[in-house]
Structure 1
């Protein structure tokens, strides 16, 4: 879930929540702050979860790799996405100017 609004967004981006299904419904897997769109799912996976590609202000497109604790909190500290990462990913969300 890509949260919008003043409670979840700042000048560097918004908060991305990733949930996983459980017997009780949905359970929060992780929260990543200062995420900018577009959001894409990579063909690669880490720790049983697909890698995510997001835009980080001042860095460009980066790859978020899951760990046992979820996805990283800060995308600007992650490795840049390669041309191959981008080519073999599927875009989920993109910003549409109103």
Structure 2
């Protein structure tokens, strides 16, 4: 008699306790490089300055820590894309950790840069990686393409619109709708960076 049900249950519980995702490539906490929706160079690297990248990285890490101070250990993976066409990139940051994730995924924050920090224009629960942006837009902001799966749901990519004030908070229900493409990938699937 096959007893695989017990082993599967143990694996599922262990995956949920690991914090972010049922995918092993998203549970690691090794440092990672951010992705960007900017044109890529020959090796897939983005054409932006290291000084600017390190400044943005510090600002993103600081913001995530401040917003989630009571959430225990945190991990992130992030990228930038110009969502509103004003030539200034918004930041998409995938935040993982024991208090930030469940069987359906982790939190995806969408941030607009301000002189004194960031304004959150989206906080999407149950998100998975990769995350992209689409050519379509809603209320002047490009639609997001968010991967969803887990909790018994099959993997799919969902178009998440902006309502004029913020992005829809749950990519698994309306107004989010299924799409066939990730569009321009902004945050690739991969290990998350542990925040100190």
Shorter-normalised TM range: 0.7 to 0.9
Matched with 2:168 is 72
Out of 86, 90, 95, the residue aligned to residue 184 of structure 2 is: 90
Work out the CA distance in 1 between the residues paired with 2:145 and 2:107. 14
User: Could you list the per-position Cα deviations for residues 35-71 of structure 1 after superposition, in whole angstroms to 9, with x for gaps in the alignment?
Assistant: 0111011111111111110112225111001112311
Q: Within 5 Å, which residues of 2 pair with 1:1-98?
A: 1-57=93-149, 58=153, 60-77=156-173, 78-82=176-180, 86=181, 89-96=183-190
Larger % of strand: which?
1
The higher radius of gyration belongs to 2
Q: Where does structure 1 lack aligned partners over 5 or more consecutive residues? A: none
Q: Where does structure 2 lack aligned partners over 5 or more consecutive residues? A: 1-92, 192-196
Work out the CA distance in 2 between the residues paired with 1:30 and 1:71. 5
RMSD over equivalenced CA pairs, Å: 1.9
